[in-house]
Copies of this chain bind each other. A is one copy, B any other.
Amino acid sequence: MTRYEQLAQQLREQIRTGVWQEGDKLPSLRETVRRSGLSLMTVLSAYQLLESQGWVRSRPQSGYFVAPTREVTRYASPQQPLQPAETVDINAFIFSVLQAGNNPDCVALGSAFPDPSLFSQHQLSRSLIRVARQLLPQSAGATLPPGCADLRRSIAQRYAARGLEISPSEIVITSGALEALNLSLQSLTRPGDWVVIESPAFYGALQAIERLHLKAVAVATDPQLGMDLDALAQALQQYPIKACWLMSHCQNPLGGSMPAEHKQRLLTLLAEHGVSLIEDDVYGELYAGLDPPLPVKAWDTEGRVLHCGSFSKTLAAGFRIGWVAAGQQAEAIQRLQLMSTLSTSAPMQLALADYLSSHRYDKHLHTLRRTLEQRKHIFYRAIKREFSDLVRVHYAEGSYFLWLEMPEHCCATQLYWRALKAGITIAPGRMFAAGEQYRHCFRLNASLPWNARSEAAIRQLAALINEHIH
């Protein structure tokens, strides 16, 4: 952790334990500099970080005040915490955005994947070569659903290390988490059924809903705390919900993670209504701080939670290996997979099993988390510096996304097209909802190395936003 992160964490703890309460004025910057021996820049960064996380508010000429504790405003406007959508029609646009992002000449600030140079390619390639040398034609049979036994055991061991008791027999290996999520949703629903998703949501959820001919209630989701559970309770009462799909950690696109107490209440609510949870946890390994957070699955005693994970965001985007710890649905999901893709490729499964058995993954993850946090801070500071008053920047701990909010009259889709011409991609808010409510927002990937190219891209983006706003 950097110094300003340490300071921010101290202050957060003080607010949490009631040293500072709602409305209290925090010690001034100057005072804190004197007391701590830190530089003014460091102290300012800490206060700005706390502000972006919703813990404090600045008042011009007065200093920083503690914000209403944990009562962060609902993100969606209170008039419409629920956004039922009979049909979802956004795929054509998302398709064009994904295709455009495929251009290696672009600065990929719109990408959902971390900078590929952070991947552990060399070690993985060694595993793949080792597997290729020993590959038998018969190996295909041993990797059919539920998938390679060694790989499932390694994944179960990783759960066990966090205190989760997941049997390897409950785990199904899939073509990335995307297949796991899709098969999970399909196993729980029939066309015409209602499901709950987040607002804003990972566009894969919106697409799955369209593809499976479902109806969605999008529940307001807070940039720091995740889904609004009061709004969820309301949705569960008003609609015949069959499944709830959300991200418990480092939500895409907002970045926030649910506190543990929210996770428990979420599960209680869903259990009351007999609703299953699809827990998309592809960024779960990219937590901030020292200890990994527990997924909702940790409190699940009924096999109600389908916990979906992946190696695509941490190890190798192109291997296309994910999994679901599927609880009651484990067999249903295997059947659906046998029907739709048959299985994940045998050499990829075997190579990952080989890699995991080398116990290098945790070391790699440790380094990756540190690097991502550092890079995100640098991006965050650069954006604060360059965009100054143009946008509100939401900073949440973990992962590598920043969520930017322009004034409401702005359109991030227009900004997207202009940025694309300048060789920069962003992920416009329109991708993350069926409606227009996030058209003024966009997601930035802050995992790129900070160099002349990315610095120029941020400056260019600032100029484009400035032009767009004025």
Contact = CB atoms under 8 A, between A and B. Distances in A.
Nearest to A180: B341
Q: Is the interface of A mostly helix, strand, loop or mixed?
A: helix
* Copies per assembly: 2
Contacts of A143: 318
A303 interface: no
Interface in A102-135: 102, 104, 113, 116-117, 119, 121, 124-125, 128-129, 132-133, 135
Interface stretch (A247-255, A343-351, A435-443): A343-351
A95 interface: yes
A186 interface: yes
Contacts of A63: none
A116 B128 contact: no
B341 A179 contact: yes
Contact of A175 (B132, B207, B338, B342): B342
Contact of A348 (B116, B125, B144, B348): B348
A302 to B, nearest CB: 23
A317 interface: yes
Contact of A341 (B91, B178, B213, B318): B178
A318 B129 CA distance: 16
Contact of A338 (B95, B116, B144): B95
Nearest to A345: B320
A37 interface: no
A111 to B, nearest CB: 9
A340 interface: yes
A147 to B, nearest CB: 12
Looking at A140, A186, A208, A211, the one whose CB has the most chain B CB atoms below 10 A away is A140
Contact of A116 (B121, B140, B335, B345): B140
Interface residues of A, number: 62
A190 B178 contact: no
Contacts of A190: 213
Interface string A74-115: 000000000000000001101100100010100000000100
A224 interface: no
A62 interface: no
A339 to B, nearest CB: 4
Contact of A98 (B144, B175, B316): B144
A146 to B, nearest CB: 10
Nearest to A101: B141
Given A179-B340, A320-B345, A132 B125 contact: yes
A342 B211 contact: no
B316 A342 contact: no
A344 B186 CA distance: 20
Nearest to A175: B341
A159 interface: no
A54 interface: no
A128 to B, nearest CB: 4
B141 A135 contact: no
Given A178-B340, A190-B213, A347 B334 contact: no
A191 B213 contact: yes
Interface in A306-339: 316-321, 331, 334-336, 338-339
A18 interface: no
Contacts of A338: 94-95, 98, 207
A139 interface: yes
11 contacts: A91-B339, A102-B144, A119-B137, A140-B317, A175-B344, A178-B342, A208-B339, A317-B346, A320-B345, A320-B346, A321-B345
Interface of A: 91-92, 94-95, 98, 102, 104, 113, 116-117, 119, 121, 124-125, 128-129, 132-133, 135-144, 175-176, 178-179, 182, 186, 190-191, 204, 207-208, 211, 213, 316-321, 331, 334-336, 338-348
Given A95-B335, A208-B339, A320-B343, 15 more contacts: A104-B138, A113-B140, A116-B136, A116-B137, A128-B128, A129-B129, A129-B132, A129-B133, A132-B132, A186-B211, A207-B338, A211-B339, A317-B346, A318-B345, A321-B345
